[in-house]
Amino acid sequence: MKQLVFKSSKSQMKIQEMIFMILGLFFFLMLVFLAYIAFSTANLKDIAQAKYRDDAVLLAAGLAGSPELSCPDNIGIGSFVCVDADKAIVLANRQEYSKFWDVNSFRIEKIYPVSERPIICTTDNYPNCNNIVIVKNKTSMKEDYSTFVSLCRIENSENNFYNKCELGRILITPKIVK
């Protein structure tokens, strides 16, 4: 009888050991799995944001390349996105075009040479201004996406006309923000 009790407690101990081992292994695997899930979902969010951002930047570049805004072929050097400021000012703040662009907001900003304060462009103050607002939707509160562009216009120097290009940025807010 005594031998049976001893054997039984030894077996119980073995079972306890096994249970502890299985539990430990289970918790460890759970931890690794949770870490993997956290890592992969964090990456997924980054990838989705990066993709959305790339799409928005491509959209901005696409808008700049549209015939309504693009520069003549002979301007500038190399491959670059160029916006004709003389065309853009004609399209600024025209509500009838807001559906045509299919974005919540769309503006072009001259960023270099740097200006002291933002000045919205109108046909009266152009080119002594730095913000050409093409579309401004009042409900648009989301973040703007931007891409660098060349902002070119025809300039007059001592009765000689030439193309003057400055560094600009197109800022858009796409319609669907996920």
Q: Near other proteins by CB under 8 A, which window of 89-97, 120-128, 129-137, 143-151?
A: 143-151
Structure tokens at 174: 């796409």
Helix, strand, coil share of the chain (percent; to 5): 45, 30, 30
Cα 108 to Cα 172: distance, rounded to the nearest angstrom:
9
- For residue 97, the 8-state DSSP code is G
Q: Is 33 in the site for other proteins (CB under 8 A)?
A: no
CA neighbor of 89 nearest in space, from 123, 128, 130, 136: 123
The alpha carbon of 43 is separated from its chain's Cα centroid by a whole number of angstroms, namely 17
**Cβ 95 to other proteins shortest distance, Å:** 29
Q: Is 130 in the site for other proteins (CB under 8 A)?
A: no
**Cβ 173 to other proteins shortest distance, Å:** 17
If the CB atoms of residues 150 and 173 are measured against other proteins, the closer one turns out to be 150
User: Using CB under 8 A as the criterion, which residues of the chain lie in contact with other proteins when the complex forms?
Assistant: 6, 9-10, 13, 16-17, 20-21, 24-25, 27-28, 31-32, 35, 39, 54, 57, 61, 75-82, 111-112, 114, 147-150, 152, 157-158, 160-168
